[in-house]
């Protein structure tokens, strides 16, 4: 099978970790088929700049435009998409895999008729659950909803995301398969150096922006600290909430027990897991949560909000799901962990690796695309 991948998000020279999960999916497929990868991205509200380069097996076409109107982003994205597809016709790809449907496929119904090969969407985006930040009756959303009314194959990383797309688009009969995200189990694996001393270390890392809610986790940690002086909270990552998080720590007077680690590479995150007793993830919603899956593959139990795709892979033997989104619920969950600590790190890691290892997910991904191709040929 020969596959043409086109993604709106992809790791690039400016941000080598952006949408790393897209790259991992594509790399996992490499063991089963031939592939060509394109990254097409139009970024509104910036000074005009066009970047054209190839790096690490991906052809990048990144356009910054000094406009904020998304209709322009949609039109330009559709034009760039069509240009790549048209130039690839002589290469006889069996299937086109679009990663992140919007805005690349906003005008798909106008160009799909010219193709004689199947198109499959692989979707990761949480915006469907959030209605793209717009009121439900907004007409601008119709172009996005219509993407899924074009008899197009769909892969989502969780059942939660699939349900979000069905609800958002009003299309219950979408042909869809769930293929989870991949965790690099060569990096994220159980360590013999897991924290065994009397200090209990909690860790959380993310791109700190809504719907993440690190303030609630910090406030709950501060309350628990009053009764348990032997706990530490390590915080990695960066984002628009970072300064508020630091101000909250100072305001609560817990700076001696909280460490801000800044931006971290996957290797650095894995190393921090090896020192941690539990991983915290407080969020209003998640389509999947790769960071939670990485913690599990490292053998670290997870205390996380019971939302979205998280609930599909964290059971009582893997950690604690916080059922209510409030401070008291988080205080109870952290206290329950401190009192019990009955989790088996090796078993947690083994269960997670059986779900998220690249070889396993890559085979499922290939079988799924093969199934869509067979359906197209019938």
The answer to whether domain 200-355 has CATH 3.40.50.2000 is yes
- pLDDT of amino acid 342: 82
Largest CA distance in the chain: 68
Q: How far apart are CA 107 and CA 146, in angstroms?
A: 9
156-181: average pLDDT: 93
| Residue % of the chain over a pLDDT of 70 | 98
pLDDT in tens, 13-33: 999 989 999 999 999 999 999
Model confidence at 6: pLDDT above 80: yes
Please report where in the chains the tokens 């006889």 appear, as a residue: 92
Angle between helices 214-225 and 242-252 (to 10 degrees): 20
Model confidence at 172: pLDDT above 90: no
Please state, in angstroms and as integers, the Cα–Cα distance from residue 111 to each residue in 78, 116, 182, 346, following that order.
9, 11, 32, 50
Which ranges constitute the DSSP H helices of the chain?
A: 20-29, 70-87, 108-111, 142-147, 159-169, 214-225, 242-252, 266-273, 290-297, 327-340, 345-356, 358-377
User: Tokens at residue 315, please?
Assistant: 């059971």
pLDDT in tens, 259-313: 999 999 999 999 999 999 999 999 999 999 999 999 999 999 999 999 999 999 9
| Residue % of the chain over a pLDDT of 90 | 83
| CATH code that applies to domain 2-182+357-377 | 3.40.50.2000
pLDDT in tens, 308-351: 999 999 999 999 999 999 999 999 999 999 998 789 999 999 99
Q: Which residues contact 245 (CB under 8 A, 6 or more apart)?
A: 208, 214, 215, 218, 235, 260
Model confidence at 108: pLDDT above 90: no
Model confidence at 254: pLDDT above 70: yes
Q: How far apart are CA 298 and CA 320, in angstroms?
A: 16
Q: Which residues contact 356 (CB under 8 A, 6 or more apart)?
A: 180, 181, 182, 183, 185, 293, 297
- pLDDT of amino acid 196: 54
pLDDT class of 139 with cuts at 50, 70, 90: confident
Contact 190, 299 (CB under 8 A): yes
Helix (H) or strand (E) holding 260: strand 258-262
Q: Is 8 exposed, middle or buried (0-12, 13-18, 19+ CB in 10 A)?
A: buried
Q: Where does residue 343 fall: left (phi above 0), alpha (psi -120 to 50 degrees), or beta otherwise?
A: beta
Query: Percent helix, strand and coil across the chain, each rounded to 5?
Result: 40, 20, 35
User: Tokens at residue 314, please?
Assistant: 């964290």
Q: Which residues contact 94 (CB under 8 A, 6 or more apart)?
A: 1, 2, 3, 117, 118, 373
- pLDDT of amino acid 90: 84
- pLDDT of amino acid 192: 65
Contact 234, 201 (CB under 8 A): yes
| Same CATH fold assignment for domains 2-182+357-377 and 200-355 | yes
- pLDDT of amino acid 223: 98
- Which of 90-94, 133-137, 160-164, 189-193 ranks highest by mean pLDDT? 160-164
How do the domains of the chain map onto residue ranges? Answer: 2-182+357-377, 200-355
pLDDT in tens, 56-70: 899 999 999 999 999
Determine how β-strand 58-65 pairs with β-strand 49-55: antiparallel
207-225: average pLDDT: 97
- pLDDT of amino acid 112: 76
State whether the Cα torsion 243-331-203-229 is positive or negative.
Answer: positive
Please state, in angstroms and as integers, the Cα–Cα distance from residue 97 to each residue in 26, 30, 123, 264, following that order.
10, 14, 10, 30
């Amino acid at each position: 099978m020969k596959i043409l991948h086109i993604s709106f998000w992809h790791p690039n020279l400016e941000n080598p970790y952006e949408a790393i999960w897209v790259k991992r999916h594509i790399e996992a497929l490499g063991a089963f088929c031939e592939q060509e990868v394109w990254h097409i991205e139009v970024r509104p509200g910036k000074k005009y700049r066009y970047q054209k380069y190839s790096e690490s097996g991906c052809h990048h076409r990144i356009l910054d435009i000094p406009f904020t109107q998304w209709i322009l982003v949609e039109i330009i994205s559709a034009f760039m998409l069509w240009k790549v597809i048209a130039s690839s016709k002589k290469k006889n790809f069996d299937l086109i895999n679009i990663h992140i449907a919007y805005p690349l496929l906003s005008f798909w119904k106008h160009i799909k008729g010219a193709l004689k090969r199947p198109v499959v969407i692989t979707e990761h985006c949480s915006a469907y659950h959030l209605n793209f930040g717009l009121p439900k009756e907004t007409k601008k959303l119709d172009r996005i909803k219509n993407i899924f009314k074009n008899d197009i194959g769909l892969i989502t990383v969780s059942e939660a995301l699939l349900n979000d797309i069905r609800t958002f688009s009003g299309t219950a009969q979408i042909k869809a398969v769930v293929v989870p995200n991949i965790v690099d189990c060569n990096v994220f694996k159980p360590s013999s150096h897991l924290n065994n001393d009397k200090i209990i270390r909690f860790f959380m890392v993310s791109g700190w922006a809504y719907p993440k809610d690190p303030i609630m986790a910090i406030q709950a940690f501060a309350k628990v600290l009053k009764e348990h002086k032997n706990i530490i909270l390590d915080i990695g990552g960066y984002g628009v909430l970072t300064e508020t998080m630091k101000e909250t720590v100072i305001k609560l007077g817990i700076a001696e027990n909280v460490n801000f680690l800044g931006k971290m590479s996957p290797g650095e995150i894995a190393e921090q897991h090896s020192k941690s007793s539990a991983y915290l993830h407080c969020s209003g919603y998640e389509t999947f949560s790769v960071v939670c899956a990485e913690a599990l593959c490292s053998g670290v139990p997870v205390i996380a909000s019971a939302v979205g795709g998280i609930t599909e892979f964290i059971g009582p033997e893997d950690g604690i799901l916080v059922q209510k989104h409030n401070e008291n619920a988080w205080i109870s969950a952290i206290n329950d962990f401190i009192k019990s600590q009955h989790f088996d790190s090796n078993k947690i890691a083994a269960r997670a690796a059986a779900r998220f290892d690249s070889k396993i997910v890559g085979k499922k991904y290939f079988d799924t695309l093969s199934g869509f191709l067979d359906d197209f040929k019938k």
